[in-house]
Amino acid sequence: MFGRQDTKVSNARDGCRSVVLALMIMASAAGCREHGETDSIPQAGAVMVFVAASGVDVLEDLSVRFALDGGGEVVVNAAASSTLGRQIMAGAPADLFISADRDWARSVRERIPCVGDPVDLLANELVFVVPNHGVEVPDAAVDLDAPIPPSSWGRIAIADPTHVPAGRYAKAALESIGWWGGLAGRVVSTSDVRGALRLVELGEVDAGLVYRTDAERSDSVMVAASVPSLLHERIVYPLLQFQSTPEVEAFVRFLQSDEAQSVIEGHGFLTVRDSGEAR
């Protein structure tokens, strides 16, 4: 489509605090990248996508497919939505921003001019997870109608509820269930949802409240209960577009194509259709 077959997907993590540092990471800090590592500087016209940490795997997959189809290079920068939102508002060179909630998308949109309206691209669910000790735990083994959380839960990990979308959803769910007050002093907050998952994987906490897509990618945790979506705001990932170059427009169209929707579903996400409903 644009005559370029090269493929490069890099993943810069939370340490990317400024425009200069972000560019340095893309250019040379291979130690900050986990997938598709290269030391080359992104080519002119490369599409820069800032995506919430929970969406990095599916975006990397989509980016590779787009490039192999002749769509050109896509660079993926992943971190907590709050971290990315602050970077963009400080001037980081994002072409697209995929937040894990509407609040950060709204905050960025109020500060940075966008092309068109936000598009809800992905949807997700919350689940309680526990360490996998080799003993099968059926889904819904934890009774969410109980007045208090399980007595075996000494500590529970969630993303930071003060600014991380996954943490906000988790706190809202725990408040709706009636457990938030009883967990005072036992909640361990992390910088993003994958940090919470990691604590459960390592057995450093007894449970965690994370996205289903992250839980399903781990062999070290088991789902103990699914959280009904009515207990918190619906989890959607809005897409904001800041540039309207041919490369960016082509990638946005690809993200909404049937092929991309199939890939999204393959990664365990719910898709969001024109009606705004997840399925």
Segment among 18-32, 61-75, 264-278 with least mean pLDDT: 18-32
For the residues of 243-255, what is the DSSP string, one character each?
A: ---HHHHHHHHHH
Q: What SS3 state is found at 18? A: coil
Q: Which two tokens stand for residue 12?
A: 């810069």
**CA 95 to mean position of chain CA atoms:** 17
Whether residue 29 has pLDDT greater than 70: no
The helix/strand count (H/E) of the chain reads as 9, 12
Residue-wise pLDDT for 224-263, tens only, equals: 999 999 999 999 999 999 999 999 999 999 999 999 999 9
Percent of the chain whose predicted confidence (pLDDT) is above 70: 80
Confidence of residue 141 (pLDDT cuts 50, 70, 90): confident
Confidence of residue 45 (pLDDT cuts 50, 70, 90): confident
* Domains of the chain in sequence order: 11-123+237-271 (3.40.190.10), 126-231 (3.40.190.10)
What does the pLDDT read at residue 137? 60
